[in-house]
Amino acid sequence: MKNLLLTLLITFLISSCGKNRSKKISEANDIKNSNSEFAIKKDTFDFTINGDLRKVTYFNGKYYCMFETNQENTSNDSKKMIVLDKKGAFVEDVFIPEGIQDMIYYNIRIENDSLFLQRAQFDEENFVLGKDVTDFQSTETRAFKTYEDELFNVYSTCRGEWGGTVFFQDKKTNELFEGSSTCPIVVNKIGTEYFVTNYMGHMIGFASVNKISDPRNLEKSKWDFKSRFGSENQKGVEKVLDTMGFYIPTSFVSNSNLVHLYNDDNGTYIAEIENGKMKPIYTFDFKFYPQFNQQLEDGKLLTFKVVETEKDGILLIDGNNLNFKFLN
């Protein structure tokens, strides 16, 4: 019964992400796209599978896609990982062990030429997929970087209703700094300033964007990423956006400006933040529900579901270029 309730809750959260989440803070005016700075490209991957695309990552020049299907006579979902090449052609299956099959919340991470599958929120266990193998092996828990540049390694934690934390490790001194951030999805940098986009789906949902001008002005931190509670330190953290009942799947930098992807009852948009509200600057010609998956060296990788057809797809964002790859 417990597993059934969890499954129903997750299904509701996934299906509701972005629904009814922009009326309070979005200035939804008619948007003219004719002179838009954004270049939209649409491709179709000629690949069909019985299941919903839940996660995707780009690794060794290929897409590693996690699909989930409902199993008969049980409340659990069956997971299947398929590898596709750049053109969407099938490459191989990846064996999914029982430990992963039982995971409800999980993330896919890439570090040191390996693909890791991490149990989300409380990091209870990790699995690793080596560079030249096609099955997962259990491995010790570890902290994965959320972002990295020449100055800092950035880590983050999410403790659900207990908050979250963003950590900046100074690469020269190895000092660690922390600030309150519930719960970090993606980090962007413009000039010398860092912007952390957060979302927590607890209750009606909470989204925010924090600006950190100098991570060294944050509070000093200990090397402890397993605290049950998120940080309460606000020093050095500036709130650019702080909302309730709103979902931001991802933020990215286009022409040196921070922009955000989101949807409401009427459509899907790219917006800027102006006076604490979302100001749409681009309206897509179809409505879809996106979900951030991976921060690439030169962009963002997301999954999405088209509202009208319920078809899944992969979205690559690189600056002002957005490439949609629809699955049949």
Q: Where are the domains of the chain?
A: 150-248
What backbone phi and psi angles, to 5 degrees, belong to 215? -55, -25
Band (pLDDT 50/70/90 cuts) for residue 211 is: very high
Map residue 33 onto helix, strand or coil: coil
The reported pLDDT for the residue numbered 9 is 43
Map residue 316 onto helix, strand or coil: strand
Top-confidence range, 68-77, 117-126, 221-230: 221-230
Map tokens 């690469």 to a residue.
Answer: 171
> Does 306 have pLDDT greater than 70?
yes
The reported pLDDT for the residue numbered 10 is 41
Computed over its alpha carbons, how large is the radius of gyration of the chain?
A: 19
The reported pLDDT for the residue numbered 73 is 57
> Does 41 have pLDDT greater than 90?
yes
Strands 90-94 and 152-158: unpaired
Neighbours of 82 (CB within 10 A): 19
Tell me what the mean pLDDT of segment 14-18 comes to: 43
Tell me what the mean pLDDT of segment 12-38 comes to: 55
Mean residue pLDDT across the chain: 85
Give residue-wise pLDDT tens across range 101-145. Answer: 888 888 898 988 888 888 775 555 678 776 555 678 888 777 889
Give residue-wise pLDDT tens across range 51-65. Answer: 999 999 999 999 999
Nearest to 316 by CA among 252, 273, 262: 252
Under DSSP, the state recorded for 71 is P
Range with lowest mean pLDDT among 10-24, 60-74, 132-146: 10-24
Neighbours of 44 (CB within 10 A): 13
Are the beta carbons of 304 and 23 closer than 8 angstroms?
Answer: no
Are the beta carbons of 191 and 253 closer than 8 angstroms?
Answer: no
> Does 13 have pLDDT greater than 60?
no
Nearest to 7 by CA among 70, 72, 96: 70
Give residue-wise pLDDT tens across range 233-254. Answer: 999 999 999 988 889 999 999 9
Tell me what the mean pLDDT of segment 5-21 comes to: 42
Map tokens 């933040």 to a residue.
Answer: 273
Tell me what the mean pLDDT of segment 179-185 comes to: 92
Preceding omega of 17 cis (within 30 degrees of 0) = no
d(CA 146, CA 295): 8
d(CA 119, CA 109): 11
Band (pLDDT 50/70/90 cuts) for residue 14 is: very low
